[in-house]
Amino acid sequence: MAMTDETKIRPATPDGPAAGRPAGPAAYARLQIWEIVAVFAVSLGASGLYALVNLIGSLTAPQSLGKQTTVLNGSLAPGRPLLDLTLQLLNITLSLAPVLLVFYLLARAGEGPSSIGVDASQPGRDLARGVGLAALIGGTGLGLYLIAYHVGVELNVVAENLPDVWWRIPVLVLSAFQNAAVEEVVVLGYLLSRLDRLGVRPRWAIAISAVIRGSYHLYQGVGGFIGNAVMGAIFGVLYRRWGRVTPMIIAHFLIDAVAFVGYAVLAGHVSWLPRP
């Protein structure tokens, strides 16, 4: 029997159950918490747990921290440059997946990258802010690390250990961009925006973001945790003021790019720089 207009099944509206929206505030809050947990479980949260376990192992090792080494950008196929390059590019590309996940979740919520200030609407201002932050935080952080390392209370952090081939510097630059994009989009813009929705006070939200940022740098030692947590707190305060993640992406990229490329150029040529 043919259905009349009144009996035909109509598609659900965007605000209806088919849109996957919870029925009330409590259910919505639970969904937001699960979303945050899921995003961090497949990205920086998992890295933080691994880093914590590795640090505990370092602290219980027989030698002092100053005699232990951690490599940030190592070869993935020693002695096989072409395979190594392929694996490096694959690793960088797949490591950007959390950024795509966050953009997808923002889109589902009716937002977009611009809602957390990831766009090109203020190129000059973003660049100036990013360069200024990189100079201030990068220079201070490097100085504190070198002091801690030379007094024997910090791990020997080797910024790169790639083969001396043509793609070495480009891969280091791409790695710096990947680090900056993932960390600032996920742990700064996305996390703070979701904690806002949950009604978390701004100061506590910034503290949570900063602690998480420090946690996945624990593989660099306690100094790595403290330094990155402080940077996270500064970035959080500035994000609240500017409403933009892009300056922090630029700053983070410049800090890492200078550290990675600078190490590749200077290691073995200056006495004050740690070596593998």
At residue 68, the pLDDT reads 65
At residue 258, the pLDDT reads 93
d(CA 269, CA 26): 60
pLDDT along the chain (276 residues), means of 10: 44 42 76 93 89 75 59 89 96 96 95 96 97 89 66 67 94 97 97 95 96 89 84 96 97 94 80 62
Torsions phi, psi for 229 (to 5 deg): -65, -40
At residue 239, the pLDDT reads 97
d(CA 162, CA 81): 9
At residue 7, the pLDDT reads 42
At residue 18, the pLDDT reads 42
Return the residue matching tokens 């947590």: 229
Residue 180 region by backbone torsions, left for phi larger than 0, else alpha for psi between -120 and 50, else beta = alpha
3-state secondary structure the chain: CCCCCCCCCCCCCCCCHHHCCCCCHHHHHHHHHHHHHHHHHCCHHHHHHHHHHHHHHHHCCCCCHHHCEEECCECCCCCCHHHHHHHHHHHHHHHCHHHHHHHHHHHHCCCCHHHHCCCCCCHHHHHHHHHHHHHHHHHHHHHHHHHHHHCCCCCEEECCECCCCCCHHHHHHHHHHHHHHHHHHHHHHHHHHHHHHCCCCHHHHHHHHHHHHHHCCHHHCHHHHHHHHHHHHHHHHHHHHHCCCHHHHHHHHHHHHHHHHHHHHHCCCCCCCCCC
At residue 123, the pLDDT reads 96
